[in-house]
Amino acid sequence: MPHIAPLSVLFAALVVWLYLSVVDEATRVLSERAGLPHPERRARVVRRLVLGVIAGVILLMALPGHLLEPDTASNAPLPQQATYAPDSLWTGADTARLTFLDENDRALIRYGRELIVNTAAFLGPRGSVAALTNGMNCQNCHLDAGTKPWGNNYGAVWSTYPKFRARSGAQESVEKRVNECMERSLNGTALDSSSREMRAIVAYMRWLGTGIHKEQKPKGSGIVELPFMDRAADPHKGAGIFEAKCASCHGQDGQGMLKADGITYQYPPLWGEHSYNHGAGLYRLSRFAGYVKANMPQGASWDRPQLTDEEAWDVAAFVNAQPRPTKDLSADWPDISKKPVDHPFGPYRDPFSEQQHKFGPFGPIAAYYEKP
């Protein structure tokens, strides 16, 4: 549509030029008959001005179309900006800004979010795309599609990856990190990094991270860090807490509750063959305890918790003492001095037992590594 305005000007100029030509000729004839001088010079100047306008319009129309379109890019809103301030919590993306993205990008991001929310429907044992996972959804651990403050969210993923991770001893991409969850938390097999599903998940992570500066971790990212207890976490005490505050959703047997579709979990299994394996991040007691403190039982939040710190540690000990799938972890932590204090599998650089590394107390272990 950029040539409509120049065409209108060209048409008007041609009409004016034709009108002036007719009027000039009629004036010349009348002047000759009346024996009066004809103002030829003035008529030539006016015609030349009109012809100049016509030539200018033709030249304008010959220019590339994009040069005639208004430049709105510099004034258009960003596709998505971070919805937090330094003194507030990151709470995810402004979905209204999706309208400013390309239609294909928008569709890929929405598909990525759907894969996080209903992973099993696409990639579970009865998945419509492939049978790759244990039936849990990414959202079972990364709450509200990975956007809940202190809900193991994705707020710092795009700003901090790629990065070196001591667990693998290598630089890891977002795709590698996603597949670590596929193989550990979902106890499954890796996605093809070039598949539409991986591209969609990465697009969703990228969109969530727009507006967050590189290496910045917004407040509320990840999991709450609980202070260590002076004692070991107690699975026996944790069993009572589980029965009182967790079993109504996750079941007395810890096997969770499926949705009506029989494919995806409303409440995930916390142990057993359909739960995370012992290579998952939540198998570390500090990760599980911090996660449940800020999010469980249902209705709890970081600022309105329903568990004390000790209850969170003890219920974490109970859950992670239950049977679950295993994974070959022989390639993990090539530098054993980098193992977290609550990594429950040796060997270690310190003198503490696997039992203490699993249940604590963790203070003495941390102090050992802090020695000059």
Q: The domain 81-222 belongs to what CATH superfamily?
A: Cytochrome c-like domain (1.10.760.10)
Nearest to 127, CA basis, from 189, 79, 66, 73? 189
265's enclosing H/E stretch is strand 265-267
Q: What is the pTM of this model?
A: 0.78
Coil, helix or strand for 270?
coil
Q: What is the pLDDT of residue 76?
A: 41
And the tokens for 46? Answer: 């006016």
pLDDT at residue 222 in the model: 92
Instruction: Give Cα separations from 131 to 58, 136, 182 (angstroms).
Output: 62, 12, 12
* Helix spans in the chain (H): 4-34, 40-62, 65-68, 103-117, 119-123, 143-146, 157-160, 174-183, 196-209, 235-245, 247-250, 285-295, 309-320, 354-359, 363-370
How many Å apart are CA 125 and CA 187, to the nearest integer?
Answer: 11
Would you say residue 168 has pLDDT above 70? yes
Q: How far apart are the first and last CA of the chain?
A: 72
Neighbours of 334 (CB within 10 A): 11
Question: In the 8-state DSSP scheme, what is residue 97?
Answer: G
Cis omega before residue 269 (within 30°)? Answer: no
Token digits for 8? 């209108």
For the record, the structure tokens of 230 come out as 């002076």
Round to whole Å and give the CA distance between 202 and 116.
11
**pLDDT bucket at 77, cuts 50 / 70 / 90:** very low
**What is the three-class DSSP state of 92?**
coil
Task: Give 209-250 pLDDT, tens digit per residue.
Answer: 888 889 999 999 999 999 999 999 999 999 999 999 999 999
The region that residue 211 occupies, defined by phi over 0 for left and psi between -120 and 50 for alpha, beta otherwise, is left
Mean pLDDT of 242-263: 96
**What are the domain boundaries of the chain?**
4-68, 81-222
Q: pLDDT over 70 for what percent of the chain?
A: 79
Q: Per residue in 5-38, is it b (16+ CB within 10 Å) or e — as a string?
A: ebeeebeebeebbeeeeeebeeeeeeeeeeeeee
Q: Look at residue 64 and give its three-state secondary structure.
A: coil
**Nearby residues of 257 by Cβ (< 8 Å), 6 or more positions away:** 249, 250, 251, 265, 266, 267
* CA atoms of 283 and 344, how far apart (whole Å): 9
Which of residues 282 and 33 earns the better pLDDT score?
282
Report pLDDT digits (tens) over 59-69: 766 666 544 44
Q: Does position 309 have pLDDT exceeding 70, yes or no? A: yes
pLDDT surpasses 90 at 70:
no
